Amino acid sequence: MDRVALRRVSAAGVPGGAQRFRDREAEEAAARIVSDVESRGEAAVREWASRLGELSEGEELVLGRGRLEAALASLGREERGLLERARGRIAAFAEAQRAALRDTEIAVPGGRAGHRFIPVSRAGCYVPGGRFPLPSSALMTACAAKAAGVASVWCAGPRPAPITLAAAALAGAEGFVAAGGAQGIAALAFGAGCPPCEVVVGPGGRHAAAAKRLLFGLVGTEAPAGPSELLVVADEGADPALAAADLLAQAEHDPSALPALAAPSEAFAAAVEEALARGLERLPPRNAEAARAALAGGWILVYASLEEAAAAADRFAPEHLELLLAEPESFAARARNAGAVFLGAGAAEVMGDYGAGPNHCLPTGGAARFAAGLSVLSFLRARTWLELEEPAQLAREAEALARLEGLEAHALAAAARLG
């Protein structure tokens, strides 16, 4: 059995967002692809997808609704049932979020003002699939869009498996562009092979995340969703084997995943490392290879107090924060920066991955300091409005304030309402 040894960090050495957010190499590569897709459209998407091994000669780039429905119809009863139940939980949570958002109206001098939540017309949902098929991501993204009221949803991702196409069909997608990375994101944004989307969301690797950052402003997007992260905070009452199992589940995602542990003692940390070594032996070779690479980039903090651990968690601002603690709610109240929090030993991060209800598309790279995960809000605009039947009072105020700022045309426009 190979030994697993994660590097130790001090509380001050826990990496913050600024240390892991930027990826200049990925951004340069993504910029070339995005520019090419903007110039040449679908032909560029097909060329890059072929060059990067996502598309074989003669293979379809754009899969319409009929292909998605055929994939759904081909599923066995058990597989279809799994997808349908997950879709039901995800959609129910998203619909509850939408129901909590209310249009608002208040009185203002001479009239009334308010806001109204309006969905975008078309959303693009990126579905990773380079290493493993991820039908759960198709459900998470497209179900949230449909619950928000988006009329048209398209997906994109590399080498979509039939199970992924089936999930996209269940979630209400109109079609699927079989291209990943920067070319898949650009296809959704510019309308290369599909109609142009106003919002492009979804988890992905470094090139997909870089493309979304480059395209923000042309399209809307959620907080950065790059390589996945998990911080497990455990106390002495926690089970080291359980902590190791959850860290391994995160590590097998991708060699770039970031598994981390805040441990109460060096003895606990060593016990987790022993359990990681045992767990690696149980994984298929491909999964174990990715997990070993991810663990090599992970770390352990042996904390002096839970206060120190909470401060370190806030600094790290992980995508997933799992609390194997006797009092997880108390810790969660102190550690404010996380994409999603999993309270107690029963709430494994993997439950969130597979459709407990809350969305698994979450901010990475420290973006949880200022952003939340994907939700119906990602597809909605709170558009404000103003109606004044008796504008005189506000017109006088506006006229005076405009002259304070030296904007005479503004003042004259306000004064024109005085009669």
Residues 233 and 329 grouped into a single domain: yes
Q: Say yes or no to pLDDT of 100 above 80.
A: yes
Give the active site residue among 320, 322, 349, 360.
320
- Inside any domain, residue 157: yes
Domain endpoint, select from 200, 223, 246: 223
Q: How far is CA 276 from the centre of its chain?
A: 27
pLDDT at 226 over 80: no
Q: Is residue 382 part of a domain?
A: no
Domain co-membership, 152 together with 11: no
Contact 206, 23 (CB under 8 A): yes
Residue 380 in any domain: the answer is no
- 319 as an active site residue: the answer is yes
Number of domains in the chain: 3
Same domain, 158 and 283: no
240/98 same-domain check: no
Q: State pTM to two decimals.
A: 0.91
Q: Are residues 168 and 250 in the same domain?
A: no
**pLDDT-based confidence at 379, cuts 50/70/90?**
very high
Evaluate whether residue 363 is within a structural domain. no
Number of neighbouring beta carbons within 10 Å of residue 38: 15
Mean of the per-residue pLDDT values of the chain: 94
At residue 341, the 3 state secondary structure works out as strand
> What pLDDT, on the 0 to 100 scale, is given for residue 102?
97
Q: Are residues 313 and 211 in the same domain?
A: no
Tell me, yes or no, whether 307 and 174 share the same domain: no
Task: Determine, yes or no, domain membership for 280.
Answer: yes
124 within 8 A of 188, measured Cβ to Cβ: yes
Q: Positive or negative, the Cα torsion across 93, 94, 98, 101? A: positive
In a domain, 2, yes or no: no
CATH code where residue 303 lies: 3.40.50.1980
Bridge partners, residue 234, by sequence = 324
Query: Which is the catalytic residue, given 319, 322, 349, 399?
Result: 319
Q: How many CB atoms lie within 10 A of CB 109?
A: 13
Average pLDDT over residues 11-40: 87
Residues spanned by the domain of 395: 389-418
> Do 337 and 396 share a domain, yes or no?
no
